[in-house]
Amino acid sequence: MARVLKHYPEVVLDPNTLVGRLDFGVIFGRTAPVHFEIGSGKGTFLVNEARAATEDDFFGVEWCSKVYRYAIDRIGRWAVKNVRIIRTDAAWLIKEHIADSSISCLHIYFPDPWPKKKHNKRRFVNDANLVEMLRVLKPGGVIRCATDHSDYFEQMERVLTNPQLERIDFFPTSYAEPDKGEWAGTNFERKYLAEGRRIYTLAVRKR
């Protein structure tokens, strides 16, 4: 029997109630580095990384309602206090509601590659979104990306080659198991590694 997914309102933000820029100090009840995951899926990364890095706060955004409900259930069942999640469009949220220099790390793991040429413009990592990502990142803040799609990776490299950014090593997250090939620790990552797919990774730091 499939598990009944529970709703935990304390971990959720309603996009319809947002006014102005988010105050993460108010949202989390403390001042701490904020990690922002774009496309949180079922919440695997958010839960595991937040449990390992309790001194940091983790904020996720997901559009797909089905996996979003799984993420809420997972975050709530584990009673992870330093995670919040919202269901909305990531580009809109960042542009309209994320404050300047408020994010310590942007995590973009296995975003939709929109493989058809005519759909490439829908990819999240693009020039327009980079302007907003640079705005919300703190000095020294990091953007970390992973994908199994070689063409999208080439686009990521092009977009993230910017005078305001320096490329750095992509290192395993604190809870990952490097000897097992763990990088981002997402459901997609584990699935793709098991299938023998190549995973392309890239990390840059704001100067």
SS3 label, residue 155: helix
SS3 label, residue 168: strand
Report if residue 2 sits inside a domain. no
Tell me the one-letter amino acid at 113. P
Report if residue 59 sits inside a domain. yes
Confidence bin at 65 (pLDDT 50/70/90)? very high
Catalytic residues: 112
Question: Is the pLDDT higher at 46 or at 190?
Answer: 46
Q: What is the pLDDT of residue 22?
A: 98
Report if residue 23 sits inside a domain. no
- Average per-residue pLDDT in the chain? 91
For the residues of 98-133, what is the DSSP string, one character each?
A: PPTT-EEEEEEES-----SGGGGGG-SSSHHHHHHH
Question: Is the pLDDT higher at 199 or at 185?
Answer: 199
Range of the domain at 97: 31-185+201-206
> What's 59's domain CATH number?
3.40.50.150
DSSP state of 148: S
Q: Please count the structural domains in the chain.
A: 1
Report if residue 13 sits inside a domain. no
Q: What is the pLDDT of residue 203?
A: 96
Report if residue 22 sits inside a domain. no
Report if residue 176 sits inside a domain. yes
Confidence bin at 171 (pLDDT 50/70/90)? low
pLDDT at residue 104 greater than cutoff 90: yes
Q: What is the pLDDT of residue 186?
A: 58
Range 21-58 burial, b when 16+ CB lie within 10 A, else e? ebebeeebeeebebbbbbbbbbbbbbbbbbbebeebbb
pLDDT, one tens digit per residue, over 127-143 is 999 999 999 999 999 99
Percent of all residues in the chain with a pLDDT value above 70, rounded to a whole number: 86
Q: Rounded to an integer, what distance in angstroms lies between the CA atom of residue 24 and that of residue 26? A: 5
